[in-house]
Amino acid sequence: MSRRNWTYAAAGVDIVAGSRAVELMREHVRSTWRPGVLGDIGGFGGLFALKGTYREPVLVAGADGVGTKLKIAFMLDRHHTVGQDVVAMCVNDILVHGAEPLFFLDYLAVGKLDPEKAAAIVKGVAAACRLAGCALLGGETAEMPGFYSPGEYDLAGFAVGVVERKELLDGTAIRPGQAVVGLASSGLHSNGFSLARRVLLEEAGLSLGGEIPVLGSTLGEEMLKPARIYVRALLPLIREGLIKGLAHITGGGLVENPPRILPPGVALRLYRGEWPVPPIFNLIQEAGGISDLEMYRTFNMGLGMLAVVEKGQVPSVLTRLRAAGELPYLVGEVVEGAGEVEFVPPLEG
């Protein structure tokens, strides 16, 4: 039996390319560092010293990925925006509990490592970490030959934040009579792409490069809009006690996510028509003949985050959110109920 001098590179894993990718990423990672970061890139673990005058600090952690939105990035060969998606999904989740994001870790898995492409992805992650005020503390780039199709990869992330125990948002401060403020999304964010791709690309036969007048852009540009990061706008309001509860509208849409924060005996009533629904959602619904109920439990329908506030604080909260660059709307109220979301007018299933 013939033998050959096999190497890791010959088997599909290029250690030299991995080292080059790390060097290309180094500048972007360092640009995110904040007080508390210890050490440098290249260690076996990221180090962070919890600084501040916390009495009872509670660490809040979250993990998420970009999902099948990555398919759009592959098709367009555009990779600089998906980093914001993965950061947004994680930091917005821990923000719901009142936590300030401290650091983020990313996981990038590829079939064959392209150092420049990997660096572009991590550059987007780093830019999003700066938006969220957290450090990109470390991560993993895994080359896995034969596992992914050529040109494809997966991207996931993990965020850790901190909140004083007495300031933890756990739903107990939510009660009937309070108002619901919705913060506009940028569009699809990172949810419902399996349905969106099936309907728009397969059923309707639309092209990602085709200009869609109602969108004011190509379909691909619309679908790759990164998810909004709400940390800087909401964190000051949380610290001042103005926010009684938050719901990040991700998979499950406006039907499944808000109940996750509600205490017993209350429900949310949302008034449809009180916020603008971006055209991409109407396009999907019409192309697929999708019911209202299915749309509202799959997509964010234009609202990326819901905030519960006292009714008397609504004008001030709206003003401050606008000053922070958000588009907020008074979209509903807290009522007595069994933990559900009521829509007025009702959804058609």
Q: What pLDDT, in 10s, does the model give residues 72-81?
A: 999 999 999 9
pLDDT for 346 equals 96
User: What six digits make up the tokens of 280?
Assistant: 């991409």
Mean local confidence (pLDDT), 308-321:
98
Q: For residue 1, what pLDDT band results from cuts at 50, 70 and 90? A: low
> In this model, does residue 18 exceed pLDDT 90?
no
Could you identify the residue written with the tokens 């993965």?
A: 86
Could you identify the residue written with the tokens 């985050």?
A: 305
Mean local confidence (pLDDT), 84-91:
98
The single-letter DSSP state of residue 83 is H
pLDDT for 14 equals 81
Task: Region of 327 please: left (phi>0), alpha (psi -120 to 50) or beta.
Answer: beta
Q: For residue 2, what pLDDT band results from cuts at 50, 70 and 90? A: low
Q: How far is CA 186 from CA 17, 120, 228, in A?
A: 35, 22, 6
CATH hierarchy code of domain 179-344: 3.90.650.10
Mean local confidence (pLDDT), 247-260:
96
Q: What pLDDT, in 10s, does the model give residues 205-233?
A: 999 999 999 999 999 999 999 999 999 99
- For the chain, what are the domain ranges? 15-167, 179-344
Report the topology of domain 15-167.
Answer: 60s Ribosomal Protein L30; Chain: A; (3.30.1330)
Higher pLDDT, 266 or 1: 266
Mean local confidence (pLDDT), 301-320:
98
> In this model, does residue 329 exceed pLDDT 60?
yes
pLDDT for 5 equals 80
pLDDT for 8 equals 79
Q: For residue 26, what pLDDT band results from cuts at 50, 70 and 90? A: confident
The closest of 123, 139, 229, 124 to 185, measured between CA atoms, is 229
Q: For residue 3, what pLDDT band results from cuts at 50, 70 and 90? A: low
Per cent of the chain over pLDDT 70 is 99
> In this model, does residue 53 exceed pLDDT 90?
no
> In this model, does residue 66 exceed pLDDT 80?
yes
Per cent of the chain over pLDDT 90 is 87
pLDDT averaged over every residue in the chain = 94
Question: Going by C-beta distance under 8 Å and a sequence separation of 6 or more, which residues neighbour residue 94?
Answer: 60, 61, 62, 101, 159, 160, 161
Query: With b meaning 16 or more CB within 10 Å and e meaning fewer, what string describes 50-82?
Result: eeeeeeeebebebebbbbbbbbbbebeeebebb
> Exposed/middle/buried for 276, CB within 10 Å: 0-12, 13-18, 19+?
exposed
Mean local confidence (pLDDT), 229-251:
97
pLDDT for 7 equals 79
Mean local confidence (pLDDT), 123-147:
95
Report whether 234 contacts 305 (CB < 8 A).
yes
